[in-house]
Each structure stands twice: as C-alpha cells, then as structure tokens.
Amino acid sequence: MSSPGPRCPVREQRARWERKRGRTARELLETELRYQEQLGLVVQYFLCILRAKGTLRPAELQAVFGPWESIHIASQELLLHLEAGNWGVGLERFSHHLELYTRFAANEEQSGATLQKCLRKKSFRKFVQLQEGRPEFGGLRLTDLLPLPLQRLQQCENLVVALAENTGPDSSDYQQLTRAAQKLSEAVQKVSAIRREQENGRQLHRIQTLLSGRRAKGLTKGRWFLRQGWLLVVPPKGEPKSRMFFLFSDALLMAKPRSVLHILHGGTFACQALYPMAQCRLQRIFGHSGGAGGGLLSLSFPHERLLLMSEDQEALSRWHRSLTIAIRYASNLPLL
C-alpha cells in the first residue's frame, strides 16, 4: 500500500477557494432566481394590471414603484448570464444598472407616503387585498415586497465580494468580478448615505414640530441630528433645572418644556438658547468611574459656561461622546 504524497499547501488553499467559490456561486444563482420571481410578481399582478385598469394615475404609479420594471429587466439579464455560468461578464454588465438602485432608494420615502395615501382609496385597497391573497404571493404583502430591491442589493454585494475573494487572480473572470464587487460596494454606500439623509430629515421634522415659538423657526434646517435628552442645568446659584437638549452636528439647543395645558403649544418645548459647537470647550468634571453617583459636564463658550449634570453616568458618557463628535465635526476636524 503506497503512502500519500507530500502535502501541497498552495494546492490545498486553491481547493478551498474553489469549494467556497462553488458554494457562493450556487447561492448567488438560487437567490437571484427567487428575487427575479418576486420582482415579476409585482410587475405582473400590480404594475401591469394597475396601468391597464387606470386604478392609479401614472404619477402615482411612478411614485409608488419607481424604477421597479427596469430593475426587473436588469435582474432577468443577469440571471441569463448566471445560468450560463458567465459570472464575470454577467455581473460586470449588471453593475452598469446599479444607478437604478440608488434612484429606488432616493424614491423610498415618497413611495411609502404615496402608497399610504393611495390605500385610502377603497378601490385600490380592495385591489391590493385581492392580489395579496393570490397563492403566488405565499402570504407576502405589497409592503413586504417593496423594500426587496434594496435588501437584495446588500445581499448581492456580500455574495459578489465573496465570489471575487475566492476567485484566483489567474482566473479569466477575476478582473470582471473584482470590478463588479467594487461597483456594488459603492452602490451600497450611496444607498446607505441616502437612507441616513432621509432618516435625518425625519428627525429634524419631528424636532421642529416639538419646538414652538418664533425663536424656534428654522433652527433644525441643514443640520445633522445626533442626540436628544433631559439634563440638569446647574446654575451658579440655586437648584439645578431640568431642560431638554437637542444636539446637532453644529449646535446644541436648550429647550424648556411648555405646560401640557397650554392652549396653543401644549406638550411642546420653547427654545431658550442655541450654542455653536465650533466654539465649545468640553470638559468632564466628574463621573469617569462608571459607578453610581452621576456626573457633571462643563461646556465653555466665549460668553457663557454651561454645567450639565446627569445622575446616570452611562447616559452622561454617551452625551460626552456625542458632544465630542459634534465639536470635531463643527470644527472640521477628523472624527476619531
């Protein structure tokens, strides 16, 4: 009986890469097939019928579904290449259609708002319920399907990056897979930035509705929201007073709660002061240990000093981190 030959680490590594590549390629194909089917359900049972019946106006249809049909066509083209084993060619060509996904992300907020508005129409609501009840949907609702393209974009990036990483540099499609993975990662970053902007816009709108009075108008515009919460303001004399603070990328807003019995502005906050973070010097007076007993922060500005106290050291630490970020951001310093 002959003994096995000497091990070859390079050959073993290549074999592992090939196995991982095979598993990843199979998963990419199977998930793309399911994704394409779900895109097709929305095209067949919603878009085509709604357009033919005129249940929604063209502008409403576009607002709800965005570039859905173009995304469906791009997926069909990609699937043909994947089924033929043309991974590099197919994915590189697909990367030229990624702008559709950033457009879809930019339309996401309008899509949700328009859909809720359209669902108030009895005819459209009944139509949606009827289509969702079809066995092809497997219990999925339209609201479950609409986020699908952006979910798939993230999943596709993960799979294509893994595929490229497990493809040898001497492979014929290595360069194409590497370029496709890079393009997908860039698209995911763009979509994440769009979503952060949308979420920030929602937060700014929410805060603006909480602030009342002439001094509060326009205070949140063009800013990034970081944190809000109650802190105790420690005056030079007298008892600490509880105030609501809203921290933005460039400013700290201090507000006083109005009485819930106020005729016009019950439950809102009156803006008391707006402090520029670029001129702030931050110091933690005590509350470093993480134990009980709270802590105190000192915020120094050119013409005023704020002493802010919290009985929760963990909450105070979060405020300290957020304030540090805001100061660096407002001063155009690199974030740590």
pLDDT of residue 213: 67
- Mean pLDDT lowest among 23-27, 35-39, 99-103, 286-290: 286-290
Do 197 and 79 lie in one domain? The reply is yes
> Helix or strand or coil: residue 329?
helix
Do 147 and 219 lie in one domain? The reply is no
Range of the domain at 324: 213-330
**CA–CA distance, 185 with 158 (Å, rounded to integer):** 9
Do 195 and 217 lie in one domain? The reply is no
Banded pLDDT at 218 (limits 50, 70, 90): confident
pLDDT score of 17 more than 80: no
CATH code of 196's domain:
1.20.900.10
- % of the chain at pLDDT higher than 70: 88
Last residue of a domain, one of 179, 203, 227: 203
pLDDT score of 158 more than 90: yes
pLDDT of residue 292: 55
Is residue 41 within 8 A of residue 72, CB to CB? The reply is no
Banded pLDDT at 2 (limits 50, 70, 90): low
DSSP 256-325: EEPPTT-TTTTT-EEEEEEEEGGG-EEEEEE--S-SSS-EEEEEEETTEEEEEEES-HHHHHHHHHHHHH
The tokens 């508005």 sit on which residue? 117
Cα four-point dihedral sign 240, 246, 252, 257: negative
pLDDT of residue 268: 87
> Helix or strand or coil: residue 225?
strand
pLDDT of residue 261: 58
Do 51 and 156 lie in one domain? The reply is yes
State the total domains in the chain.
2
The tokens 């500005």 sit on which residue? 301
Do 62 and 187 lie in one domain? The reply is yes
pLDDT of residue 263: 54
Question: What single-letter amino acid sits at 184?
Answer: L
Last residue of a domain, one of 183, 203, 223: 203
CATH code of 317's domain:
2.30.29.30
Higher confidence at residue 162 or residue 170?
162
